[in-house]
Amino acid sequence: MTDSDIEITADLVRELLREQHPDLAGLAVREVAGGWDNQQWRLGEELAVRMPRTERAPGLQRKECRWLPVLAPRLPLPVPTPVRTGEPSARFPKPWTVMTWVPGEPLDHTSISRGDHAADALAGFLNALHAVAPDDAPAGSDRGARPGTYADGFDHLFRTVAPVGIADGLRAVWDDAVAAPGWEGPPLWVHGDLHPANVVVSDGTLSGVIDFGDLFAGDPAWDLAAAWVVLPEGAAPRFFDVYEHADEATIRRARGLAVLKSLFLMLMGRNGDEGLPGGKPAWGPAGRAALDRVLRGGPT
């Protein structure tokens, strides 16, 4: 999943800044734990350098640089926005970016204590984001279609990590999502990857949303799954009351997608526990808790 041939260090980041953005080179550089497609480094207090480490990462960065300046002004929570771009060079053969830093702690390393406030914040954010996308907006790559499209992936996750005691319930939620009518409205802007590592928390509530690499135009159910994947127990009803625009079919798809996303979190957690590449130990408990929230019911 990563390009292990390129060692990305603080010294390399400083050298690239000196070469291409010398006015930023005097700021402190320190590594940020986590990341998937990109390795991230804090740059001073207000910026971050994102260094791609997978084959698909440069394309995701280009997408963010193209569309986040368009979307950010209308979003009620802070999101990273591009400040500078770095060109491929002899030192580092891929493009890279300097983005604004979104303060807060990723949810996979903390918790939400103000559930009602977080539900309002997430609903307000998605209401603002879920506008009709333009014709040249990006399409989904490995996500965005109806749940049934991902039956093979679901079956693999289900066989691998679904807890035995709740497996039948999870399968029922998934089957219901597959049977639900598909999205019939115009393609809307969708973050596409809302899970605990991609939202940040301050003072017990949501304070920002990060990692828009999977941004696409399509079915908002992919984001509405966050009612269970991100928000704490009991917050989903309030979230859907504030969001207002989700019909029954969309909520059914969102619940099934929440199961899919939560099983993936559990798999990454197990991989982390076993020391496998790409594993995230903190994601396992987050995924398991989300499954319980899904099974305790829908938004009403």
Both tokens of 81, joined, read 């926005």
Q: Residue 297: pLDDT band by 50, 70, 90 thresholds?
A: low
The per-residue pLDDT for range 59-71, each reduced to its tens digit, is: 999 999 999 999 9
Q: What is the pLDDT of residue 143?
A: 83
Per residue in 112-155, pLDDT (tens digit) is 999 999 999 999 999 999 999 999 999 987 788 899 999 999 99
Beta-bridged to residue 38, according to DSSP, are 52
Lowest-confidence range among 140-144, 153-157, 171-175, 209-213? 140-144
pLDDT(3) > 70:
no
Q: 192: closest CA among 82, 67, 105?
A: 67
- By the 10 Å C-beta count (0-12 exposed, 13-18 middle, 19+ buried), 73 is classed as exposed
Alpha helix stretches (DSSP H) within the chain: 10-20, 57-71, 115-129, 151-161, 167-179, 221-224, 226-229, 236-243, 248-273, 283-295
pLDDT per residue over 217-265, tens digit each?
999 999 999 999 999 999 999 999 999 989 999 999 999 999 999 999 9
Q: Which value, to the nearest 10 degrees, does the dihedral of the CA atoms of residues 193, 82, 125, 153 take? A: -10
Q: What is the pTM of this model?
A: 0.93
CB 48 within 8 A of CB 100: yes
Q: Is 38 left (phi over 0), alpha (psi -120 to 50) or beta?
A: beta
Instruction: Tabulate helix, strand, coil % of the chain (nearest 5).
Output: 45, 15, 40
